[in-house]
Structure 1
Amino acid sequence: MVDVVKITKRVVDTLESKGSSPAFLWDDALPGFAVKALLSGTKRYVLKYRVGGGRAAKQRWLTLGTHGQLTPDQARALAQQALAAVARGEDPQAEKYKSRNQPTLTDVWNRFRAEHLPQRKPQTRYEYENQWREAIAPKLGRVAIDDVTRSEVDRLHKSMRLTPYRANRILALLSRLMTMAEVWELRPAGSNPCRHVERFKEQPRSRYLCAEELVRLGATMREMVEKGNLSPSAANAVRLLLLTGARLNEILTARWDWVDRDRCVLSLPDSKTGAKPVYLSAGALLVLDDQRSHSADNPYIFPGRSAEGRMINLRKPWVRICKGAGLDGVRLHDLRHTAASIAVGQGASLPIIGRLLGHSQAQTTHRYAHVDADPALIVANAIGDVLVAKISG
């Protein structure tokens, strides 16, 4: 069924598909403009045109919209705009198809995750996955990569102003994804929308536990272990973090076969700054001796729930410890700061402290790579002497 008539709401409402084929109603005033009635009863406004002009040119069908959502006059206006574009040498259907099939930010993330994340350290992979899943994907994941604008990025960044450090890290990841989109030629070079988005000012935290807080911390952990409110392994992990100044992940991933009691070191094959030794004071070795009885045959010093798994984090136990000890605003990483502050108080030089803690600035560590391990071990023991007296009771 093919009819040619002026398309109005009244005639469109009466149009019905008969038999097994859609019915078409062609407009008698605008060439190529029609209504298509589907077997389902849906009616769509369409435009048939030829690219480049002439009967030999390629024929295209452009869907303008659905009757009910568009009036005949609105559909006719869209058809006129499309025909004007055709007259200028453009192809509206091709542009629509291109827009519909353009890669999204999620596509860029999936490629980045497959090609680049495996090269990153486990903690970095975990943080990137978390930042993408919780912050970026819900807001921008479905946006076409070429359509992500600076205003959208700025709006996302400012929505996290209450957590400035996290907001800046998420912005950094998003900027990295945009840079890779340029490398993969999915965006024009130099079009990174994260540029000129002002980062939040980050205030460096310098929280150290004082002598009285250390005493409360030690007493609280002992009491909690005795009452069964804290596992001995969790308490020992906190003690070892304090006594070594090591990073949380370095301690929780440590294995028994990395412990060298003769040299008094825990030899990490990898860390944030590469392979490094964690110096074990006499107090730290005593903690390890106690922990041995709690790890059974597990290869990890701090076992998890499975027979060969490890402890994943200390966040929940640490919250309970801080609440019991009355420690406000203290992070697990502040235990590392506390160890460093005690080392300074013992008169240790900055190079030795950098070596002791595995300083994050590689040039500082490498500059003093010739320093013998003994001075660092001496400082480790000095830290241990101060801390053991306070947290052991």
Structure 2
Amino acid sequence: MAGKKRSFGRVRKLPSGRYQARYLGADGVDRPAPHTFRTKRDADDWLAERQAELRAGDWSDPDAGKIPFGTYAATWITERGIGASTADLYRSLLRNHLDPTFGTVAVADITSARVRAWRVARLDAGAGPSTVAKSYALLRAVLMTAVDDRLIRRNPCRVKGASSAVTPERPTATVQEVYAIADAIQPRYRALVLLAAFSGLRWGELIGLRRRDLDLTANTLRVRRNIAELHSGKRLIKEPKSAAGKRTVAIPAVILSDLSAHLTVFAEHGADGGVFIGAKGAAPRRNHFNRLWRKACHQAGIKGLHFHDLRHTGNTLAAATGASTRELMTRMGHSTARAALIYQHATAERERLIGNAVSAAVEQARKQAPGPNGHAAGT
């Protein structure tokens, strides 16, 4: 049946009795509806919606969303202008957790139901909650850009709270445990363990230290660089990710003799020589060091402790001294107060000290003679 002339679009009745609708898109291409309609009224209503989109400037090419998610996401990562280590993390999440499910699926065909099913499947498969949360956050960010690019109308990532995961609190090594591990590990890494535990530096910051960064006379070290190790094995020497990362940290005097001995025996020579060097003369690889770490923990009878947990030890000890939030932020290399506040939670020992201080203040006040108004002098 010949199509009927209209002010916008065309509707025609098919031999099946259903109705087909077509219209001219903003790109000048004749666009058929993605499906047929039971009644002519339904077809007219659909055309009216397309006409309203064109008039409001909200029209988007219905074919644009046919690009495979994997292709679009890979381009998205490249075009973000992010650091190499962050891009490496995103590509790993894409390759291992998103591409197997969504890689060949058109962006427009990703539905909320598919996203929910994917998330449940990843968790059921044993993927860590934190990894799944990061993967979901990446999926949501990519598809939000797809909304901005008018490939899709609505982001299908609608699972509330799915981009954050409640992870178990990591253990904090005691001072005795730190020294037990330092005694058990290879001698060239003893000072590394002690400095990590009592300065709160990250692995990349420790490996990036040079001799000129340490001032054992002033008991300080300067954090100027960070070494990141990519999944490919390539290492990047870069500045700390924020201005707060560049900082001067006080070295506890109790480990100065260990550091001095380490510099004499194991560190590279020259002001720019590396402080922590592996047995083959290069900065140690994380995977190789982790094997030595696990062996030392086993010998010390300590289970479930990661090297990064030593940072928690240093930060907890610093917080227990009564350091202010700003002081903790500076020592930890954070630009926001969030992490510092975590370490300022009340500990039993700190609470006892506070209680004793309050008690002493009360006793001192009671010893003072009352003033003319009946109050103790000075109160």
Tell me which interval the TM-score lies in, with the shorter structure as reference length.
0.5 to 0.7
> How far has the Cα of 1:245 moved from its partner?
0.7
* TM-score for the superposition, normalised by structure 1: 0.58
In the alignment, the residues of structure 1 paired with residue 242 and residue 114 of structure 2 have an alpha-carbon distance, to the nearest angstrom, of 35
Matched, 1:182 2:151: no
> How far has the Cα of 1:248 moved from its partner?
1.9
Return the letter of the residue paired with 2:105. Answer: V
Query: Which sections of structure 1, spanning at least 5 residues, go unmatched?
Result: 1-50, 54-80, 226-231, 366-393
User: Which residue, out of 127, 130, 142, partners 2:104?
Assistant: 142
User: Which residue, out of 248, 251, 262, partners 1:277?
Assistant: 248
The verdict on how the C-alpha distance between 1:305 and 1:134 changes in structure 2, with shifts beyond 3 A counting, is: farther
Does the 8 Å CA contact 2:199/2:249 hold for their aligned counterparts?
Answer: yes
In the alignment, the residues of structure 1 paired with residue 166 and residue 20 of structure 2 have an alpha-carbon distance, to the nearest angstrom, of 55
Matched, 1:253 2:208: yes
Return the letter of the residue paired with 2:195. Answer: L
Residue by residue over 1:207-254, the C-alpha shift from the partner in whole angstroms, topping out at 9 and shown as x without a partner, is: 212244234223322xxx2xxxxxx44443322211211122222233
Does the 8 Å CA contact 2:325/2:337 hold for their aligned counterparts?
Answer: no
Matched, 1:219 2:174: no
Return the letter of the residue paired with 2:332. Answer: L
Residue matched to 1:38: none
* TM-score for the superposition, normalised by structure 2: 0.60
- Residue 277 of structure 1 aligns to a residue whose secondary structure is strand
Residue matched to 1:113: 77
User: Which residue, out of 312, 327, 331, partners 1:352?
Assistant: 327
> How far has the Cα of 1:286 moved from its partner?
4.2
In the alignment, the residues of structure 2 paired with residue 320 and residue 364 of structure 1 have an alpha-carbon distance, to the nearest angstrom, of 30
Root-mean-square deviation (CA, aligned residues, Å) is 4.1
In the alignment, the residues of structure 2 paired with residue 346 and residue 238 of structure 1 have an alpha-carbon distance, to the nearest angstrom, of 21
In the alignment, the residues of structure 1 paired with residue 107 and residue 275 of structure 2 have an alpha-carbon distance, to the nearest angstrom, of 45
Based on CA coordinates, which of the two structures has the bigger radius of gyration? Answer: 1
> How far has the Cα of 1:261 moved from its partner?
5.0
Does the 8 Å CA contact 1:259/1:266 hold for their aligned counterparts?
Answer: yes
Residue matched to 1:243: 198
- Residue 66 of structure 2 aligns to a residue whose secondary structure is coil
In the alignment, the residues of structure 2 paired with residue 101 and residue 206 of structure 1 have an alpha-carbon distance, to the nearest angstrom, of 42
> How far has the Cα of 1:278 moved from its partner?
3.2
Residue matched to 2:276: 302
In the alignment, the residues of structure 2 paired with residue 291 and residue 108 of structure 1 have an alpha-carbon distance, to the nearest angstrom, of 50
Return the letter of the residue paired with 2:129. Answer: P
Matched, 1:153 2:115: yes
The verdict on how the C-alpha distance between 1:283 and 1:133 changes in structure 2, with shifts beyond 3 A counting, is: farther
Residue by residue over 1:67-91, the C-alpha shift from the partner in whole angstroms, topping out at 9 and shown as x without a partner, is: xxxxxxxxxxxxxx99989964488
Does the 8 Å CA contact 1:242/1:338 hold for their aligned counterparts?
Answer: yes
Does the 8 Å CA contact 1:240/1:287 hold for their aligned counterparts?
Answer: no
- Using the aligned pairs only, state the percent identity: 22
> How far has the Cα of 1:172 moved from its partner?
1.0
Return the letter of the residue paired with 2:159. Answer: H
Aligned residues: 278
In the alignment, the residues of structure 2 paired with residue 202 and residue 364 of structure 1 have an alpha-carbon distance, to the nearest angstrom, of 15
Residue matched to 1:9: none
Residue matched to 1:333: 308
Return the letter of the residue paired with 2:86. Answer: T
Residue by residue over 1:179-201, the C-alpha shift from the partner in whole angstroms, topping out at 9 and shown as x without a partner, is: 1222333222xx11222344265
Does the 8 Å CA contact 2:200/2:310 hold for their aligned counterparts?
Answer: yes
In the alignment, the residues of structure 1 paired with residue 147 and residue 65 of structure 2 have an alpha-carbon distance, to the nearest angstrom, of 18
Matched, 1:205 2:200: no
> How far has the Cα of 1:355 moved from its partner?
2.3
Return the letter of the residue paired with 2:114. Answer: E
Higher mean alpha-carbon deviation, 212-221 vs 327-336, is at 212-221
